[in-house]
Amino acid sequence: MTQVQIAQLRKSYGHHEALHGIDIAMESGEFVVLVGPSGCGKSTLLRMIAGLEDVTSGAIAFDGRVMNLVPAKKRDIAMVFQNYALYPHLTVRENMGFSLKLRKVPLPERNARVEAAAESLGLGHLLDRFPRQLSGGQRQRVAMGRAVVREPALFLFDEPLSNLDAKLRVQMRTEIKQMHRKVKATMIYVTHDQVEAMTMGDRIVVMRDGIVEQAGPPIELYDRPANEFVAGFLGSPSMNMLDAVLSADGASAVLGDGSHVALPGHVEGGAGRALRLGLRPEDLLPSETGIPFEIDVIEPTGAETIVMLRNPAILGEGSLCLLLRERLPLAPGQELRIAPKPGAAHLFDPGSGTRIDPVLRSEPLRAAAR
Amino acid sequence: MTALHLRRAGMALAAILLLIWSLGPVYWALATSLMKPTDIAASPVNLVPPSITFEHYAKLVGGLFGQPDETGIWRDFLRALGNSLVLAGGATIATTAIAAIAAYAAVRLEFPGRNLVFYMIVATLAVPGYTVLIPLYRMMVGLGWVDTYGGIILIYISAYLPLSMWLMRSVYESLPLSIEEAAFLDGAGRLYTMVRIVMPLALPGLIAAAILTFLGAWGQFAVPLVFAPTAATKPLTVLIPEFATKNYVDYGLINAAGVFAMIPPALVVIFLNRFLLSGLMAGTGK
Ligand SMILES: Nc1ncnc2c1ncn2[C@@H]1O[C@H](COP(=O)(O)OP(=O)(O)OP(=O)(O)O)[C@@H](O)[C@H]1O
Ligand SMILES: [Mg+2]
């Protein structure tokens, strides 16, 4: 159980700065997911926490104690690597017991702990095999087992599931969460898969180009993304982004074809203010009175149907993605009128990309709330 | 016959030719060493010994078994065999050990000028040995290291270290860094990680370096010719040619000694080769 505080952390490789001042505070026992596109610095940050990379400036502290200069072997951290990094010349038992042996845990206790961990991961019958004699999924479990056996204060995972097939990935996701509930240690989990981030994290930290774009509980990030990047990154299919302008009364966004989308409140800036209007695919519903689009592509997945819509006046060359839960008799080329769910519109400033929160119009209500 | 059969037959023929090419001289040495001097000198040459004799071998090692010894050759021979083993063995152990550590430092430790140091050592590969022989001789005389095991082994190390370091560096570079990092996080220090994790994984490379060094040192002629003038350190490579005197070339004796000289390198290759397990790295990742 460890609190992790990261303050103004920077990392430079030569003249190239990979992390530009990261601030994160992690509660003890929390499951934090670092997510972001490739090259944004997730692994670098994780490796700095592990002590595998030097800190250029800023601080990493565990429970208030600055760790910048503490070597990796003294940090009491277990890490599961993307390529598992098992010791190829040691058996599963020796791999899992390596750290205990180093800490001079007596053999009977070591064996007991290794066997208990192996049992809980379904590796009981594989203890005397070498890594080369295991399947990818089994190797992944051994790597997890090696981490669990140690009972460390902090677990780090660097894309541990990216080499597994889709089905195993879903299964391991659940097992890692179960493990977290059981051992109650602080865990930091790196992934570039937003589904993993949403499903696993108590808290998500979205990174891009060496900075933190937003941090918070998954649903909060999903419902109130702080900027256009986070909005587009979380959610699959990702959020539709439309160019729009503000109406004269500040209460609706006007699309390219002149149709209005009602906003959940009032926006400053006056008529004609350029806006980016974000609409999640599941927040769009067919409606007799909606905006007309032409159906381009229909992709049924069974449980739901993804429909790609076109309307050059609104979208230019782009298309609008719609996620339907019910099965409608649709065909490409048909017209489909859709309307966003009330209050579902997200607004962003086209220049900075930051979120614009409409102000509630009902002043008396706000006064009463104060 | 199909094209496939033809290709198979062609490959078999090529293999046989290659075998004759490389094993022919070995057979020739063995056959000559077993022939009577009169059969050796006969014309046309005998490809197969008409009769077998062990007289040449007796001259070389008979003294060991209490046989009458008129020439005293067996003492010189056994001494030289011992010298060869000490020199080649010592050079192999020292070179491999130094290469193992130095190449690791060159790959994994960050220090200023590490590439410069590495390339300077490897660059000495390009210097032909004979160009430094004379200055080296004056240096060794000055230090009093001529005709000592230490001095000669030192020269061998300087000759074979660059190649071994180069080899070991590429071996270490091919090992995933994450395995070592996993060991650090498991609580191991640099040294423990190197001995327990890196060395076992680099073993095939170490064995290859050892084989190359041993074979090179075992066959060295120029260096011991200059630096091993007396029986104290003179190895087989220098002794055997001395069996050919101005008046008489004792082919039987030379070839019998040659056959003996083939045994240690053959044993080294056969024995160490067993550790050159391929696929040792399989199963680390994915
Ligand atoms: N050893 C290094 N030397 C120089 N630059 C590096 C080094 N390691 C990482 N970088 C740079 O730092 C940036 C962040 O890399 P990092 O590996 O942390 O990305 P990541 O978010 O983990 O990406 P991915 O999802 O592809 O693993 C990249 O621009 C990368 O090129
Ligand atoms: Mg990474």
Nearest-neighbour CA in chain A from B274: distance (Å):
16
- Please state the length of chain A: 370
Q: Find tokens 């590969």 and name the residue.
A: B125
Across the interface, of B181, B200, B280, the residue whose CB is closest to A85 is B181
pLDDT of residue B157: 94
Break chain B into its structural domains and give their ranges.
3-53, 73-285
Alpha-carbon distance of A201 to A206, in angstroms, equals 11
> Average pLDDT, whole number, for chain B?
88
- On the question of pLDDT at A64 being above 50, the answer is yes
- On the question of pLDDT at A170 being above 80, the answer is yes
Q: Are A187 and A26 in contact (CB under 8 A)?
A: no
- On the question of pLDDT at A370 being above 60, the answer is no
- On the question of pLDDT at A369 being above 60, the answer is no
What is the tens place of the pLDDT at every residue in B23-60? 999 999 999 999 988 888 888 888 888 888 888 898 88
Q: Is the CB of A146 less than 8 angstroms away from the CB of B186?
A: yes
Q: Are B227 and B147 in contact (CB under 8 A)?
A: yes
Q: Tell me, yes or no, if B191 comes closer than 8 A to chain A by beta carbon.
A: no
In the structure encoding, which two tokens stand for residue B2, read together?
């199909």
From A9, A12, A15, A16, the mutation candidate for ligand 1 (largest count of ligand atoms within 8 A of CB) is A16
**Region A208-236: what's the mean pLDDT?**
95
**Chain B residue nearest residue A53, CA to CA:** B181
Residues of A whose CB is below 8 A from B192: 102
Q: Is the CB of B186 less than 8 angstroms away from the CB of A98?
A: yes
What is the tens place of the pLDDT at every residue in A16-36? 999 999 999 999 999 999 999
Question: Which amino acid residue places its CA nearest to atom 14 of ligand 1?
Answer: A41
**Region A280-286: what's the mean pLDDT?**
95
**Chain A residue nearest residue B182, CA to CA:** A85
pLDDT of residue B277: 54
Percent of chain B topping pLDDT 90: 59
Nearest-neighbour CA in chain B from A77: distance (Å):
6
- On the question of pLDDT at B286 being above 50, the answer is no
Across the interface, of A83, A84, A89, the residue whose CB is closest to B201 is A89
Q: How would residue A95 be classed by pLDDT, with cut points 50, 70 and 90?
A: very high
**Region A283-296: what's the mean pLDDT?**
94
Q: How would residue B279 be classed by pLDDT, with cut points 50, 70 and 90?
A: very low
Q: How would residue A252 be classed by pLDDT, with cut points 50, 70 and 90?
A: very high
DSSP B3-70: HHHHHHHHHHHHHHHHHHHHHHHHHHHHHHHTS-HHHHH-SSPPSS-SS---HHHHHHHGGGGT---S
In the structure encoding, which two tokens stand for residue B4, read together?
């496939």
Q: Is the CB of B186 less than 8 angstroms away from the CB of A99?
A: yes
Query: CATH top-level class for B73-285?
Result: mainly alpha
- On the question of pLDDT at B129 being above 90, the answer is no
Angle among Cα A231, A237, A240 to the nearest 5 degrees reads 55
Give ipTM to 2 decimals: 0.85
- On the question of pLDDT at A366 being above 60, the answer is no
